Amino acid sequence: MKGLIKNSGLLLVLIGAIILMVCAFTGNVNNNAVLGLSTALVIVGLIVYIVVNKYVQD
């Protein structure tokens, strides 16, 4: 269970990156809601990764 908690930030970053890639391949780069959501996921994922790995130990 701790492994999932420790990797939750990376999962958020990965989901955000996948959304950005899908938007780029489909040409849907003018939809600010989708681009904002994916950017927010990447930023929140980085913050969660740093905070969680600072406090959760193996």
pLDDT over threshold 70, residue 10? yes
Burial degree of 53 (CB within 10 A; 0-12, 13-18, 19+): middle
CA distances to 4, 13, 31, 49 from 22, rounded to whole Å, are 25, 14, 12, 23
pLDDT over threshold 80, residue 1? no
Query: End-to-end CA distance of the chain, in Å?
Result: 11
pLDDT, mean over the chain: 89
Domain residue spans in the chain? Answer: 2-55
pLDDT of residue 14: 96
> Across the chain, how many H-helices and E-strands are there?
3, 0
Model pLDDT for residues 22-46, shown as the tens digit of each residue:
999 998 888 899 999 999 999 999 9
pLDDT over threshold 80, residue 58? no
User: Whole-model pTM?
Assistant: 0.85
